[in-house]
Amino acid sequence: MTSLTLNQLALGLGILGFACFAWPIIQRVSGRAPPEEPGSGKSLRSPLWWAGFALTALAIFLQRMASQQAGG
C-alpha cells in the first residue's frame, strides 16, 4: 500500500512539474504572453521554471524510492 501511495504522489508531482514547464509555452502560443527576446535567458531565471524543475526532480526521487520498496 505504501508504494502505491508514493507512486500516486510521484505522479501528481510529475504532472504539476510538467504543468509549470508547459504554462509559459501555452501562454506564448495562445498569444497571451509576448515572446521573449532571443538569447535573453529569461525563461531559465523564471521562478516557475525552477519550481517545475524541483517538482520533477522530487517526483523522480519518489518514484525511485517507491520502486525500491516494491522490489524488496
What are the extents of the domains in the chain? 2-28+45-71
Average pLDDT over all residues of the chain: 85
53 vs 39: CA distance, rounded Å: 20
pTM of the predicted model as reported, rounded to 2 decimal places? 0.77
* Tens-place pLDDT, residues 13-41: 999 999 998 888 888 889 888 877 888 77
Closest to 57 in 3D by CA, of 3, 8, 21, 13: 13
At 37, phi and psi to the nearest 5? Answer: -70, 140
Residue 35's contacts (CB-CB under 8 Å, 6 or more residues apart) are: 28
For residue 41, give the amino acid letter. G
51 vs 45: CA distance, rounded Å: 11
